[in-house]
Each structure stands twice: as structure tokens, then as C-alpha cells.
Amino acid sequence: MPTKPPLHSEALPADSAAPPVEDEVGGAILSLAENAEAIYVAPNWKLVWWRFKKHKLALFSGIILVFIVIIALFPGFFSTQDPQESSALRAFVPPQFVHLFDKGKWVGPFIYTVEGKRNPQTLKMEWVRNETTHIPVKFFAKG
């Protein structure tokens, strides 16, 4: 006949010879009886949290999910341009690399300006980097 788990009042006696174990609640060393009682009386959300903490991929995914939610809650802070602004001329400009040094000298983060010219033979836009002028990259700047 299967045995039923002990009730809260019938928990294992504290003077039992069970070795102490590390508790998941706070990392404290508790006897087996205290640990069993802590798990038995823990609310459901705490049991779910203890199980969730053991799964490393779930923790990583949870952090990414929190990051996405923060971006969704504060889009004005994270956006790079006005959502109503559109420029057909700059739609196909290739991505620019951020540079830190100009002619071997530290100047901070910047990008070079680009100039687009249409190739008369292929009628394709060709973007040429102009290394004489550069645009500084500013963090937390007004756009």
C-alpha cells in the first residue's frame, strides 16, 4: 500500500538523523525535515520559481523576453529616428561601420559620410565613402 506524504503537523521530527541539505529557498543549511516542510508549505508561485531557476535556457530566454518588453514599453527612448520620417534617397544606402580612429588618431566613435552617384552604364546607384568628413556618433542625443 503506498504511503501518503506527511501532513504539515506530521512533518519529520527535527531531531531525526537526516543529514543537513542546502535549501533552495535562500541557500541556508537546513535539516531534511525543515527542507521538506519548507517545500510542503511553499506557495505555488515559489515552487514554480524554484523549478524555473534550475533551467538555464529558461532563465536566458526570460532575460531576453524582459529586454523585448522594455523596448516595447519605451520605444521613443530606443528608436533611432522619427517614425513618420521617410527618405527614399537613403533607403538603399549600405550599412556604415563605426570607426574610432581617423588617420591613426583617436577621435571617438564616428561614421564617414557617403555620397551616392548613379553609374551611367548600369544605372545602378553606387555609394562612395567620403573620408574627408565624418559624422560623430552620439549616445543619448536628441535626433
Phi, psi of 65 (to 5 degrees): -65, -40
Cβ–Cβ under 8 Å, residues 12 and 36: yes
Expressed as residue numbers, the domain containing 104 is: 99-136
Residue 86 belongs to a domain: no
Q: Is residue 85 part of a domain?
A: no
Closest of 87, 84, 80, 85 to residue 142, by C-alpha: 80
Kindly state whether residues 108 and 72 are assigned to the same domain.
no
Instruction: Decide if 126 is inside a domain.
Output: yes
Whether 67 and 15 map to the same domain: the answer is yes
What string of DSSP letters covers 46-103?
HHHHHHHHT-HHHHHHHHHHHHHHHHHH-HHHH-SS-TT---STTTTPPP---EEEET
* pLDDT tens digits, 48-89: 888 999 999 999 999 999 999 999 999 888 887 777 777 777
pLDDT tens for each residue of 11-24: 555 555 555 555 45
Residue 92 lies in a domain: no
Q: State the pLDDT at residue 121.
A: 94
